[in-house]
Amino acid sequence: MGGTMAEKSWTGHRQRLRERFLAGEVESRSDEMLLELLLSFSIARKDVRPLAKELIQIFGSLYQVLSTSPDELSKVKGVGPASIALLKAVDFLRSASATRETKVSLQKGVNDTQQKLFENLMDGPSPEQAMPISINKKSGKQKKSKTPATPKNIRRKFQVSNGYLLEFDQLARVLHYLLEHRDAKKINRKVLREDTGLADRQVESLVSMGAAMGLIQPGRQILTPVGLLIAEHDIFIENKGSLEWCHYAGAGSYHNLIWFEIFNRLLAEPSPMTQEKWSKQLRSDLAGQYSKRTISKSLYEEVRFVIDAYLERNFSKLELLQQLPDGRLYWRRYTGFAPLILCAMIYDFCATEKTHLFQVGEMVTTHGSPAVVFGLDEASFRQQIEALHGRGWLRYETTHNLDQIRLKPGLSAIEFLMAHFEDRPPREDSKPSPGDLFE
């Protein structure tokens, strides 16, 4: 009797799942629900939602699940030959469709996207343009990813950590001193060393890490507006809101070479890779752009710095970076945002791009955006935007074939950050953000 009731429950849930998809509901297009729908055709008389959730957690996204080899899929308990055949069939159809679309596009001429790529290349290649698109080696499909408008003018920093790990308690000592001397126009590193009791090279490393997260102005060793807020309210950078912003600043800044490449490129690869494979891939990508000595000496340390920060230090609270028993690394989509922090990210990103309008689909594919560095697919990101629209902090416009974010002129990134740390609603009479808060 109990089995019959459970079977009816599963049947009803599956029917509702299909109906919601056919009705075009936004929630039904998330990676997890699409994968659950697929698995419902290959696994009978069983709740497949836990398995769909587990697969997304292991491989990172529906795209990566579909692109994963049959051998890797078979290692996940509950994934049998029927499910593997179905997933690979969908992957084959997706890849074949993409190939046909590419041929048609070339026959018709240069489309808008291609034209933009050509225009970007006219001024000569930059390190970013040397590797603009990731290739799925299994299908040959190019991922539709874009880079921010500003990178060509930014000099990239290879060494952020200088061989040190991100010790948040030691960074707090530096922030504390800078907070006490907030009126100074410049602080000598020697003074910082004497006050904190840290070695000169360690102080240099901590200042570099603080600058990478948008907290310290490099060269002057003073707090940025964001650094001042965090030093006043969360100096050990333990709260999730602070960590969300610092992750966005560190992983979303094109200036932070290795950090940026890991979260905008390597983690988006179809199959999870080990630390060694990350280093090998980056070594290949950066060959000829930096000296062999710089790459051989510092690359491993910088990769280790990022991995340690997200697996062992405070960033682990976000649970963004995960590691399989065999050492392969993958990311978990993050959706537990502090709303004011997410809104600050969106306003800051748009200010950096010098626009008050942004297409949702474009932001999901643009490197350095909040959507990309937190691993959100379009459906998940759209849900976040709808929630912010409901709060009245931005406008999500969907009428007349629009699907875009419009910022409100009386608000800014720094205002949302202040509202978060001061535990109050944002005030709409603030001045618009002048641009990137990292500078």
Same domain as 308, residue 166: yes
For residue 367, the domain's CATH number is 1.10.10
Domain boundary among 108, 133, 157: 108
Segment 57-78 mean pLDDT: 82
Whole-number Å distance between alpha carbons of 224 and 245? 14
Q: Is residue 186 part of a domain?
A: yes
Instruction: Name which residue leads in pLDDT, 150 or 345.
Output: 345
| Adjacent-strand bridge partners of 11 | none
Instruction: Name which residue leads in pLDDT, 13 or 172.
Output: 172
Segment 204-231 mean pLDDT: 96
- Cβ contact 74:82 at 8 Å: no
Instruction: Name which residue leads in pLDDT, 259 or 63.
Output: 259
Same domain as 225, residue 83: no
Q: Is residue 439 part of a domain?
A: no
pLDDT confidence of 338, banded at 50, 70, 90?
very high
Q: Is residue 376 part of a domain?
A: yes
Whole-number Å distance between alpha carbons of 86 and 39? 8
Same domain as 307, residue 210: yes
Whole-number Å distance between alpha carbons of 203 and 170? 9
Same domain as 225, residue 319: yes
Average pLDDT of every residue of the chain: 83
CA triple 88-39-21, angle to 5 deg: 105
Residue pLDDT, tens place only, 126-159: 333 333 333 333 334 444 566 655 555 567 999 9
Whole-number Å distance between alpha carbons of 149 and 126? 12
Which residues fall within 8 angstroms of residue 215, CB to CB, at 6 or more apart?
A: 175, 223, 224, 226, 227, 230, 231, 246, 249
- Cβ contact 10:58 at 8 Å: no
On the 0-12 / 13-18 / 19+ scale of CB atoms within 10 A, 387 is middle
Whole-number Å distance between alpha carbons of 166 and 49? 37
Q: How many whole angstroms from its chain centre is CA 206?
A: 23
Q: Is residue 195 part of a domain?
A: yes
pLDDT confidence of 247, banded at 50, 70, 90?
very high
Q: Is residue 91 part of a domain?
A: yes
Q: Is residue 54 part of a domain?
A: yes
Q: Is the pLDDT of residue 229 over 90?
A: yes
DSSP, res 323 = E
Whole-number Å distance between alpha carbons of 310 and 327? 14
Q: Within 13 Å and on the Cβ side, how many CA atoms surround 377?
A: 17
Same domain as 67, residue 47: yes
Domain boundary among 310, 332, 354: 332
Segment 255-276 mean pLDDT: 95
Domain boundary among 311, 332, 353: 332
Same domain as 301, residue 404: no
Same domain as 412, residue 312: no
Number of domains in the chain: 3
Same domain as 173, residue 305: yes
Query: Alpha helices, DSSP H only, in 23-124?
Result: 31-42, 49-59, 62-67, 70-74, 81-108, 112-121
Q: Is residue 118 part of a domain?
A: no
Segment 210-222 mean pLDDT: 95
The sign of the torsion formed by the CA atoms of 278, 280, 284, 289 equals positive
Q: In the block, which residue shows the tokens 């469709």?
A: 97
First to last CA, the chain: 66
Minimal CA–CA distance to 346: which of 377, 310, 374? Answer: 374
Percent of the chain with pLDDT over 70: 80
Same domain as 322, residue 207: yes
Q: Is the pLDDT of residue 65 over 90?
A: no
Q: In Å, what is the CA distance from 71 to each residue of 254, 257, 428?
A: 35, 33, 54
Which residues fall within 8 angstroms of residue 156, CB to CB, at 6 or more apart?
A: 127, 254, 255, 256, 257
Residue pLDDT, tens place only, 84-143: 999 988 887 865 554 444 344 334 433 333 333 223 323 233 333 333 333 333 334 444
Same domain as 223, residue 323: yes
Q: Is residue 407 part of a domain?
A: yes
What is the model's pTM? Answer: 0.68
Domain span at residue 363 reads: 339-421
Output the DSSP codes for 103-114. HHHHHH---HHH
Same domain as 367, residue 322: no
Instruction: Name which residue leads in pLDDT, 23 or 160.
Output: 160
Same domain as 277, residue 190: yes
Whole-number Å distance between alpha carbons of 245 and 346? 11
pLDDT confidence of 165, banded at 50, 70, 90?
very high
